[in-house]
Amino acid sequence: MGYLLQNVKIASEEELKPTNILIRNNLIKDIGEKITPSGEDTLIGCRGKTCVPGLIDLHIHGSYGINLMQVDPEKVLQLADKLASQGVTAFLATTAGKSIQAIKKNCSEISVAIAQQESGARIMGIHVEGPFFNKSSPARGANNPSWLRTPDLEEAKEIIEACKGNLKLFDIAPELPGAREVVDLMLSQGVTVSAAHSDATYDQAQKGFDWGINHLTHTYNGMRRIHHREPGIVIAALLDNRVWLEIIADGQHVHPRMIELIFRLKGLLGMGAVTDATMLAGLPPGEYDFIGTKVLLETDKAYLKEEGTLAGSIATGMDLFMNLCNWGFSEHDAAMICSTSPARHMGWTEIGEIRVGAKADLIILGDRGAAITFIDGQIAYQNQDTST
């Protein structure tokens, strides 16, 4: 059984022109104006709606009350199913915690979920954010400073073991003593290493990039401020072609013109949008306990009650895509930032693109977001209120 998407427009750098997409055996089998379906293909008339690659979120701590920092396998799988409604077809389950033991437990539970997964957005692996971060402000961000510590090689080995081969992205502050040894360990295991929650100077950051760090977590946030006398880690990353930059494109964490600055310096393949969403995304406004910290949730943001520091985001993957379009990026460019670029950065060659032979992870856009989400060639979500 397959699907033939008829009269669909593929977001591209060129003019959007109607075409057809044939999906068979979980792959994009053909793209063209004249495709003959078989008797087993389901025809879907898209009425000229736009199709983009499924969105990929490399940094998400949870949503809809599900907290990936205090979780069990069933909840992880529930989140994967829910993310399909927002057009997210792949993600890295992102965790942190009060202690190494808590982080190890989270990683173990997520690994069980990965082994059991049969539906929903692909859980591509685990992103561990912390605990080897700088305790100073603003570098620590919303992290409780009592949770943070200097890099420890043995603890890093324990985290790797708990992930059971699923650790894909690991964050560290490169200026801390012992960071080099942990970076070397992670790279030897094929793990992408990111600089994060760092007070690194320009020179300290550059050393980290020379070691092999090639990713900057939620750029501008949780790191040394830019200054004309000491440019710091942000400028070091912007000027280094080896480094790929995350941005939280929720309209709260980063001003749109600062995102434009990254685009002008790095290009579409040097940056990617992430939600950094927490369990609070999708919940009603109010006061919540978030890993032992009081957080106030409003309609458009969440922040620490005592300090006023932003506490992750409450955005969805589709929010990021639509924000970028509203800020002047084309649908093609927004799809590159939210899907193609993250996939290429992580080396995932079968997803993030609409081309013959790629995995059929696709979104048909409706008036208010995802009308239909395909994951692995099957309909994972269909908005009954949005006709196609």
* CATH number of the domain to which 296 belongs: 3.20.20.140
Identity of residue 275: T
Please identify every stretch of the chain with a pLDDT value under 70, giving residue numbers as ranges: 13, 291, 385-388
Smallest CA-to-CA distance from 170 within 143, 207, 197 is with 197
CATH number of the domain at 22, please: 2.30.40.10
Q: Are residues 27 and 107 in the same domain?
A: no
Residue 385: predicted pLDDT: 53
Residue 347 CB contacts under 8 Å (≥ 6 apart), including other chains: none
In a domain, 388, yes or no: no
User: Quick one: angle between helices 202-211 and 179-188, nearest 10?
Assistant: 30
Which tokens in the block code for residue 274? Answer: 């992430």
Residues 143 and 271 occupy one common structural domain: yes
**246 and 186 together in one domain:** yes
Structure confidence at residue 139 (pLDDT) = 83
Quick one: 25 and 147 in the same domain?
A: no
Determine, yes or no, domain membership for 48. yes
| Residue 135: CB atoms within 10 Å | 18
Instruction: Look at the chain and report how many structural domains it folds into.
Output: 2
Both 40 and 105 in one domain: the answer is no
Q: Return the active site residues.
A: 276
Same domain, 85 and 216: yes
- 92 and 147, same domain (yes or no): yes
169 in the same domain as 46? no
Residues 338, 231 share a domain: yes
* Within a domain: 255: yes
Q: Per residue in 168-202, pLDDT tens?
A: 999 999 999 999 999 999 999 999 999 999 999 99
Strands 215-216 and 192-195, by their bridges, are: parallel
Q: Residue 382 and residue 370: Cα distance in Å, rounded?
A: 8
Q: In this structure, is residue 200 part of a structural domain?
A: yes
Domain of residue 48 covers: 2-52+353-382
CA 231 vs CA 238, 247, 328: distances in Å = 11, 19, 28
pLDDT tens digits for range 202-220: 999 999 999 999 999 999 9
Instruction: Please tell me whether residues 85 and 127 are part of one structural domain.
Output: yes
Residues 167 and 185 in one domain: yes
Residue 102 in any domain: the answer is yes
Evaluate whether residue 64 is within a structural domain: yes
146 and 211 co-located in one domain:
yes
**SS3 for the chain, per residue?**
CEEEEEEEEECCCCCCCEEEEEEECCEEEEEECCCCCCCCEEEEECCCCEEEECEEEEEECEECCEECCCCCHHHHHHHHHHHHHHCEEEEEEEECCCCHHHHHHHHHHHHHHHHHCCCCCEEEEEEECCCCCCCCCCCCCCCCHHHCCCCCHHHHHHHHHHHCCCEEEEEECCCCCCHHHHHHHHHHCCCEEEECCECCCHHHHHHHHHHCCCEECCCCCCECCCCCCCCHHHHHHHCCCCCEEEEECCCCCCCHHHHHHHHHHHCHHHEEEECCECCCCCCCCEEEEECCEEEEECCCCEEECCCCCECCECCCHHHHHHHHHHCCCCHHHHHHHHHHHHHHHHCCCCCCCCCCCCECCEEEEECCEEEEEEECCEEEEECCCCCC
- The answer to whether residue 387 sits within a structural domain is no
Residue 297 resides in a domain: yes
